[in-house]
């Protein structure tokens, strides 16, 4: 039996818990312990609030942790602060996601219900593929990248580390989004996006931040 906890007790944490509970119902050997969060959630969660990062770093037994944080840059910071060798980052893949081919998914990644992934796709570590996102052929999702609900990556799209595709956005064929770049919700990205740039709109244009 694997002891599993979720880091991040917000809305996305509750959604990750739904996946964990669905996996348990389907026979996965998980025992769900509760949530870690740096914000004290003991009032809302009672015994299901396990504590902050320090508590996790002092955890005495092997523990599997799913990282339910929507923003890749924040996920990366949190991972760098978790130093306990007993922590293993689990991938949490909804039984209601659609895999049309064998797809390797890196540790710490979350794939939500309705996500639809086709063929020759690489999903790195600590990636989030959120509800109903579609990922077309030959896409590469770099570590800590995020594809938000209902977003669509056409074929051969590359998301570099921490790239973020907002809800309902579309990235056209062959486009590359560089490290830390952001496509705003609903945008249509028709050209490569450079490091740290944010683009919005249809077609998406860079906004200065």
114 scored as a contact of ligand COA (CB under 6 A): no
Least separation in angstroms between residue 114's CB and ligand COA is 13
Q: How do 205-207 and 198-200 pair as beta strands?
A: antiparallel
For residue 28, the tally of other CB atoms under 10 A from its CB is 13
Which of 113/185 has CB closer to ligand COA?
185
Local structure of 133: helix, strand or coil: coil
Least separation in angstroms between residue 165's CB and ligand COA is 8
- State the Cα angle at 70 between 159 and 46, rounded to 5°: 155
149 scored as a contact of ligand COA (CB under 6 A): yes
**Closest-CA residue to 186 (of 175, 202, 207, 197):** 202
**Closest-CA residue to 38 (of 25, 53, 24, 27):** 53
Least separation in angstroms between residue 164's CB and ligand COA is 7
Instruction: List binders of ligand COA among 189-208 (CB under 6 A).
Output: 198, 200-201
The DSSP code sequence of 78-135 is HHHH---TTEEEPPEE-TTSEESS---B-TT-EE-TT-EE-SS-EE-TT-EE-TT-EE
Which of 11/174 has CB closer to ligand COA?
11
150 scored as a contact of ligand COA (CB under 6 A): no
Q: Total number of residues binding ligand COA (CB under 6 A)?
A: 15
For residue 188, the tally of other CB atoms under 10 A from its CB is 16
Among 34, 51, 70, 72, which residue interacts with ligand COA (rule: CB under 6 A)?
70
Which of 97/182 has CB closer to ligand COA?
182
Nearest-angstrom CA–CA distance, 76 and 118: 27
166 scored as a contact of ligand COA (CB under 6 A): yes
Which of 142/184 has CB closer to ligand COA?
184
145 scored as a contact of ligand COA (CB under 6 A): no
Footprint on this chain of ligand COA (rule: CB under 6 A): 70, 130, 148-149, 166-167, 182, 184-187, 198, 200-201, 209
């Amino acid at each position: 039996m694997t002891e599993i906890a979720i880091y991040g007790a917000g809305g996305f944490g509750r959604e990750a818990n739904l996946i964990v509970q669905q996996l348990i119902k389907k026979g996965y050997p998980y025992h769900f312990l509760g949530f870690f969060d740096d914000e004290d959630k003991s009032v809302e969660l009672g015994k299901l609030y396990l504590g902050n990062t320090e508590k996790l770093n002092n955890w005495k037994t092997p523990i599997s942790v799913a990282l339910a944080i929507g923003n890749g840059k924040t996920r990366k910071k949190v991972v760098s602060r978790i130093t306990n060798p007993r922590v293993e980052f689990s991938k949490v893949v909804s039984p209601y996601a659609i895999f049309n081919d064998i797809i390797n998914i890196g540790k710490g990644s979350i794939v939500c219900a309705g996500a639809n992934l086709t063929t020759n796709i690489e999903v790195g570590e600590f990636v989030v593929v959120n509800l109903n996102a579609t990922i077309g052929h030959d896409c590469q999702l770099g570590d800590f990248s995020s594809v938000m609900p209902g977003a669509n990556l056409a074929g051969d799209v590359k998301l570099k580390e921490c790239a973020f595709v907002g809800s309902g956005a579309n990235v056209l064929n062959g486009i590359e989004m560089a490290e830390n770049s952001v496509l705003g919700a609903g945008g249509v990205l028709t050209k490569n996006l450079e490091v740290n740039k944010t683009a919005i709109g249809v077609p998406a244009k860079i906004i200065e931040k």
